[in-house]
């Protein structure tokens, strides 16, 4: 048994669900679902291959309605007919001993038009993102906002009926929930926009809708997490001061964790290079005594994960589990010297990373450390 004290501690979340250890699989887009949003056999195999060691698997994002589909090959949680496939997915994860958490989201202005009915991309306001070739979305109506809030609750009901142990509300990475919180994408003058407190109204309404669904439909303890990005580069954009006010409120919402989306665990400000204080540390100091904080970001070796767990109670790892699906098991059995810390093209079959995900991995420069001998 490994001597590492933090990684293999069990951890009981506020809802009462106990994770067998403190390392979770991070949510990663995989492009593996069928075109209609149903779970594919390839997807089942991909997740099952990575569910053996972690305390929980957080899936790739699942859209809560048809206007929110952000990726080709994305899981859908927007219709009851998708529940049987979702149940196959939760069963596959459970079979390997991990808890299963479905990440639910709406892409907002980041949705590719070809995936959306009538190419009618919507957001908080009619403001395009700053990415190249971005479309200008249509401002959502009051009726659409209310329906989307309900849709998050309905997606949660479907996750419960499909046997998942929880959901993660995706309020990060520039998608719709973040778009409502951001002064860049939200220029509304009604109850859904305005100052920082008023821009919290939509995220908080989504949280309440999700929790109402849990109260109505879950017969056992059910995890509700929330993912957020601490800052935006845009002007105006989300500042760390905005986020600290947001987490003050989120910490009082009976959530099981706050998952802080960062590219590096110790990442400082993306708005001011002179401000190097880790954003995760600031959030942990602010609300860590009230709600569990989960960190993520370029944690590759067991030593790095162990040090990170000395600062926050939970860690998610992503790329590491793509390169090394047995990461947790090898650390636990003291075979750390066997960990694969680079991606080798000849390992494609063993890693169960099918197309089109494999080609995406190889096409993005510096996304994965590739074995130089094989390029």
Say if residues 313 and 55 touch (Cβ distance below 8 Å).
no
72: its two tokens? 């080709």
Respond yes or no: is residue 257 known to be catalytic.
Answer: no
Task: Pick the catalytic residue from 11, 46, 47, 175.
Answer: 175
Task: Label each residue of the chain as H, E or C.
Answer: CCCCCCCCCCEECCCCCEECCCEEECCCCCCCCCCCCCCCHHHHHHHHHCCCCCCEEEEEEEECCHHHCCCCCCEECCCHHHHHHHHHHHHHHHHCCCEEEEEEECCHHHCCHHHCHHHCCEECCCCCCCCCCCCCCEECCHHHHHHHHHHHHHHHHHHHHCCCCEEEEEECCCCHHHHHHCCCCCCCCCCCCCCCCHHHHHHHHHHHHHHHHHHHHCCCCCEEEEEECCCCCCCCCCCHHHHHHHHHHHCCCCCCEEEECCCCCCCCCCCCCCCCCCHHHHHHHHHCCCCCEEECCCCCCHHHHHHHHCCCCEEEECHHHHHCCCHHHHHHCCCHHHCCCCECHHHHHHHCCCCCHHHHHHHCCCCCCECHHHC
Q: Determine the distance from the C-alpha atom of residue 346 to the mean position of all C-alpha atoms in its chain, rounded to a whole number.
A: 29
Give the residue from 174, 359, 106 showing the smallest Cα distance to 182: 174
What residues act catalytically? Answer: 175
């Amino acid at each position: 048994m490994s001597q590492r004290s933090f990684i293999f501690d069990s951890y009981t979340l506020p809802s009462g669900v106990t994770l067998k250890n403190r390392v979770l699989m991070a949510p990663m887009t995989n492009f593996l679902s069928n075109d209609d949003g149903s779970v594919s056999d390839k997807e089942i195999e991909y997740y099952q291959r990575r569910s053996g060691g972690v305390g929980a698997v957080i899936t790739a994002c699942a859209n809560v309605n048809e206007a929110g589909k952000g990726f080709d090959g994305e899981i859908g949680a927007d219709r009851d007919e998708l529940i049987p496939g979702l149940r196959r997915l939760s069963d596959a994860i459970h079979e390997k001993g991990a808890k299963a958490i479905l990440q639910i989201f709406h892409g907002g202005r980041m949705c590719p038009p070809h995936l959306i009915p009538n190419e009618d991309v919507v957001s908080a306001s009619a403001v395009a993102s700053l990415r190249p070739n971005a479309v200008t979305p249509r401002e959502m109506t009051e009726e659409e906002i209310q329906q989307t809030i309900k849709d998050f609750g309905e997606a949660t009901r479907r996750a419960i009926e499909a046997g998942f142990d929880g959901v993660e509300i995706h309020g990060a990475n520039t998608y719709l929930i973040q778009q409502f919180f951001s002064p860049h994408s939200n220029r509304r003058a009604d109850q859904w926009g305005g100052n920082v407190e008023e821009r919290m109204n939509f995220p908080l309404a989504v949280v309440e809708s999700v929790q109402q669904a849990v109260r109505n439909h879950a017969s056992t303890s059910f995890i509700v997490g929330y993912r957020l990005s601490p800052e935006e580069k845009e002007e105006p954009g989300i500042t760390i001061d905005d986020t600290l006010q947001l987490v003050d409120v989120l910490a009082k919402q009976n959530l099981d964790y706050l998952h802080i989306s960062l590219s590096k665990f110790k990442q400082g400000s993306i708005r001011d290079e002179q401000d190097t204080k880790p954003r995760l540390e600031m959030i942990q100091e602010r609300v860590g005594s009230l709600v569990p904080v989960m960190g993520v970001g370029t944690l590759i070796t067991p030593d790095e994960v162990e040090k990170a767990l000395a600062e926050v109670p939970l860690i998610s790892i992503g790329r590491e589990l793509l390169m090394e699906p047995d990461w947790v098991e090898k650390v636990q059995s003291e075979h750390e010297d066997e960990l694969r810390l680079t991606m080798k093209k000849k390992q494609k079959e063993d890693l169960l990373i099918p197309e089109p995900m494999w080609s995406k991995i190889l096409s993005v420069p510096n996304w994965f450390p590739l074995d130089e001998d094989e390029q």
